[in-house]
Chain A
């Protein structure tokens, strides 16, 4: 099996589907305990975005003749659910934890766009992934903007 062949693409799509599914699940747990109205509203739309991505990727894997078998490691999933679903942990802390994984707003989209670039022979998957990548970037950008709004304004001495 070639690493850059159709099997590798299917594996990428399935891995991404599994990550998006877990992401939607973790966001649902966060929404259930989120104490900030504005953040909760944004998380609802972002959670649906993740779930939509997972559903689209699953459909595409099947259309391309693959099967969906990937799953986020149970220990990782359980730890994320316990952390983001915890009413004892502050929303600000959860935001910082999540955004700490992305040094900039394009970091979440980059790995997806890298695969997009190699999919010239499959333009349907390419455009699907391109819009999914934009969605990931929008998620990080919105959360970062929200986080910035939470910080108290600093006053000059």
Chain B
């Protein structure tokens, strides 16, 4: 059954708010990060998150909506930790990875599944999900590298 347009707009709005908050938090992490490996990958993640937010805003506007959502308390707290220069890189990565079960590699799977009957939005989110999957995989590899380094 097709997802109602208002529901799709709501999902896109929540997503754009989350991506924007994430990009801002990662930007502050990069500013304080002294590990060049992490900075290199985080820069890609931040750039993509910012563009994902813009894509979601453009799509929800095309569907007749307006971006009004703000992130909830949990995500806001997570962004606070990611932004905090006093918390180690390893702890930040562990916290981010703890949000996803070890064998799960499709962070947007649930969101994509919820958008039915709107092929353009479905494909947009599916393709954005590929970026998120790459980010998650990279964070896992960095977690292992930092553990090997004893960082």
Contacts and interface: CB of A to CB of B under 8 A. Distances in A.
Given A125-B40, A138-B130, A49 B122 contact: no
Most buried by B among A36, A42, A51, A127: A127
Interface stretch (B42-50, B74-82, B86-94, B98-106): B42-50
Contacts of A41: 119-127
A38 interface: yes
Contacts of B44: 52, 56, 127-128, 131-132, 135
A56 B37 contact: no
A130 interface: yes
Interface in B58-87: 58-59
Nearest to B48: A52
A132 B45 CA distance: 10
A32 interface: no
B131 interface: yes
A103 interface: no
B40 A123 contact: yes
Contact of A142 (B47, B58, B59, B130): B130
Nearest to B40: A127
A64 interface: no
B123 A124 contact: no
B36 A123 contact: yes
B41 A131 contact: yes
Given A38-B122, A40-B120, A135-B131, A49 B48 contact: yes
Contact of B55 (A40, A48, A134): A48
Across chains A and B, which 10 residue pairs bring their CB atoms closest together, nearest first? A127-B40, A41-B123, A45-B127, A41-B124, A124-B36, A41-B120, A38-B119, A37-B119, A124-B40, A138-B130
Interface of B: 36-41, 43-45, 47-48, 51-52, 54-55, 58-59, 118-128, 130-131, 133-135, 137-138
